[in-house]
Chains A and B, each alone.
Chain A
Amino acid sequence: MNHAPILPQTAPTWRDTLAPAAAPRPRNRTGRRRLVVTALRHWVGVGLAVACLIFGYIAWRAWNYNPAALAAPAPSAPLREIVVRGDGALGRAWVERTLGVRPGVELMSLDLEALRDRLLQSGQVKVAVVARRFPDVLSVTLEERSPVLRVRAQGADGVDRHLFVARDGFVFVGEGYEDSLVQGLPWLAGVTLARDLSGRGFALVPGMDSVSDLLGTVRASAPSLAKDFQIVSLGRYARDGVILVRTSEVSEIVFGTRDDFYRQIARLDYILDEIRARPAATPVRSINLAIGGRQVPVAFEAPVKEPARSGAAAPARPARPAAAPATAAPATPTFFRI
């Protein structure tokens, strides 16, 4: 029989003095943070292990009792409905017409990329998301371009038609807009529409973001003025940085793009009110709001009468009333001090 040798007891070492089971008790933030991170890692590891076990069990069960379910494809059925969500004028009918997809087509047979391209070809659609919603629904989400101005031009087919210009300068054939909306849009002038590289559309119109800001500001702050905007010209936009607007009352209002539109519109509103308040209103030829400063040059159609002095309730008055004779030349502006 083999006996293990009995050796003498050695002196206690530092390991014998430590309680191995004692949990660490950090007394500063650094130690506590490390302890928490370690504990989290531990429990995340345990959680993952448990999740793997559960998944393994489910897979094992499926393999043993219903192996066909593992290889089965996702359920698919014939298309029942096209669900359209959008932020503009295009509706479900337009989408169905454009896509050319009829209910009853196998959902999985649809080429979503091709369908998306068809939607984007219209130009009115800025972003299109086409997705399958199993088992039998095709979901289409559209983000449309909003028309800012309208223009009349020949399309790729040589036919004259109404086109719309969006904020990003994109020219497109609008569809589904109400007449009141279309009639309320000013015309674009002063630019030549150039064909894009493909030859099917037009190149982007520069300066439309400024026009959009101007129209947005005027609609928000002075809706009555906005209704009166007839033509917006970008003829001097590239050279002088100004936008010209024609209204029923004024032949040419010059807006500067470097100045705040809100201030310019407030001044315009004030000046028009002043002019309307005169006993004999004279047609206004131009109001130049782009100059800035406290004086706004206003040119009247000839002949004009001397502008009436405004009272205390109407502070705007001509800067040099004596210098504006009753038969002034049409080109000589009257300065309104704001």
Chain B
Amino acid sequence: MSAFSKSRIVGAVEIGTSKVTVLVGEVAGPKLNLIGLGEFASRGVVKGVVVDSPAAGEATHRALVAAEKSAGVAIEQVYLAQSGAHIDGFYHEATVNVGGLEGRVGQLDIDNVYALAKSKALPPGRCVVHFLRRPFYLDGSLVASPEDIRGDRLAVGVWHVHGDKNRITDGVHIIRNFNLPVTELVLSSLAGGNILTTPEERQHGVLVVDIGAGTTDYAYYLHGRPYVAGVVAVGGNHLTNDLSLGLRITEGQADKIKTLYGRATVSAKDRADAVWLNGDMGIGDRRFPRMTIEQITTARVRELLEVVRKKLGNIYAPGDTLAGVVITGGTSALPGIDEAAARVFEVPARIGSPRVDVADKLRHPAYSTALGLLYQGLSQQIETAATKPVGFMGKFRKAVDSLARL
């Protein structure tokens, strides 16, 4: 990097139900560098939705401060992960007659059909988080880029990911109150999908399921593009809750049992195989059959995955999902979850691992959303810089850089 190359510091913030994660990255020329990490136990967030703004703000700001301290620089802009039970989606398609010269599709036709597809009115109090454009169809045939191709009717479909206006602005205001601009909102599953899947996998069809503490985010990729993305308001905390009710123990104890002995598939064969609650044989220590624990967690995980499959609807077909299912998020640490997902979705499943070179700690599925978010942000910054018109100072810098390289 030369003295004249300006670096940009980008922060990726995920305000989750269990913790707030902030990653700091630096765009230096064509390079992306991960330079800082900050974490703080989340407060005031239920099922991905901010219910106590001051508490959530405090936790987020502390995580931001920790990340800035770890990076040694101030964050300049933030990419914010969006999740929560309020996120929903619908599909809208539009078709236009090609009006270009000699029946060739022009840019105006493309803009027009895309704008029409995005023009569906939303329910009151809702706003769009993402427009997920699907491939263009020209006279019923899928085309990667319709520009300058002869045809009569151009069609495109857009999956609208929308959410409650107030819930979305709550998250954005938390960041803005730290005097930082939010450059982009990205659905958690899409952020994770960016880093956990390859372009080839997305071309062949892949489903990314991010099971967090309060919510489960999913994104289904086909033909290289995200087709459907959404959120289910069920997460790892529900497993804890089920264990708490089923075994009549406190939530803290249930969380410990889940972490130590929970599974997404039943592996215990013998009911006599039991585990101790505390293991100290003291007053209040109890034994639970391992099979009971596994049955409770397995049932809930299966139900959760079935809800995701149901939400995907007809768009999901195992035959089109050749790259299988990628499971990520904190709850993906549950043993046997890939096996359970493979049974529900009828395709091979695996635990997601980032396709970039990062520290071992950040390879844990709990960081995949923040990591994906950061890399999306950094990639966008590079793209923006590459397409930005070069002014006098830009030319001057380039000249100095080239001299420095001599």
Contacts and interface: CB of A to CB of B under 8 A. Distances in A.
Interface of A: 5, 7-14, 16-18, 22, 24-28, 30-31, 34-35, 38
A13 B127 contact: yes
Contacts of B360: none
A12 B179 CA distance: 25
B178 to A, nearest CB: 5
Query: Interface residues of A: mostly helix, strand, loop or mixed?
Result: loop
Contact of B128 (A7, A11, A18): A11
A244 to B, nearest CB: 63
Interface string B92-126: 00000000000000001001100110111110000
Given A10-B115, A11-B118, A24 B127 contact: no
Given A11-B162, A17-B169, A38-B179, A30 B62 contact: yes
A31 B61 contact: yes
A223 B165 CA distance: 89
Contacts of B116: 8
B178 A13 contact: no
Contacts of A12: 122, 127-128
A14 B119 contact: no
Contact of B127 (A7, A8, A14, A34): A14
Given A5-B108, A13-B129, A14-B172, A31 B177 contact: yes
B72 interface: no
B165 A17 contact: yes
Given A14-B168, A26-B178, A38-B179, A8 B54 contact: no
Contacts of A10: 115, 118-119, 131
B172 to A, nearest CB: 6
Nearest to A39: B179
Interface string B166-185: 00110010001111000001
B93 to A, nearest CB: 14
A14 B160 CA distance: 12
Interface string B44-58: 000000000110011
Given A13-B128, A18-B172, A26 B111 contact: no
Contacts of B58: 28, 30
Contacts of A28: 54, 57-58, 61
- Interface residues of B toward A: which range? 20 to 34
A11 to B, nearest CB: 5
Given A11-B122, A12-B122, A24-B179, A18 B169 contact: yes
A25 B175 CA distance: 10
Given A10-B119, A14-B168, A24-B179, 9 more contacts: A7-B112, A8-B119, A10-B118, A12-B128, A13-B129, A14-B129, A26-B61, A27-B54, A27-B57
A14 B128 CA distance: 6
Contacts of A24: 176-179
A13 B172 CA distance: 13
Contacts of B122: 11-12
A252 to B, nearest CB: 68
A27 B177 contact: yes
Nearest to B129: A14
Contacts of B118: 8, 10-11
B127 A16 contact: yes
B10 to A, nearest CB: 17
Nearest to A35: B179
A15 to B, nearest CB: 9
A25 B119 contact: no
B307 interface: no
A308 B116 CA distance: 125
B268 interface: no
Given A28-B61, A31-B57, A11 B121 contact: yes
B65 interface: yes
- Scoring A9, A14, A34, A38 by chain B CB atoms within 10 A of each residue's CB, the highest score goes to A14
A25 B177 contact: yes
A34 B127 CA distance: 30
27 contacts: A5-B108, A7-B111, A8-B118, A10-B118, A11-B120, A11-B121, A11-B122, A11-B160, A14-B127, A14-B165, A14-B172, A17-B127, A17-B165, A18-B172, A24-B176, A24-B177, A24-B178, A26-B61, A27-B53, A27-B57, A28-B54, A30-B61, A30-B178, A31-B57, A34-B65, A34-B179, A38-B179
- Scoring B115, B160, B185 by chain A CB atoms within 10 A of each residue's CB, the highest score goes to B115
B179 A30 contact: no
A27 B56 CA distance: 11
Contacts of A11: 118-122, 127-128, 160, 162
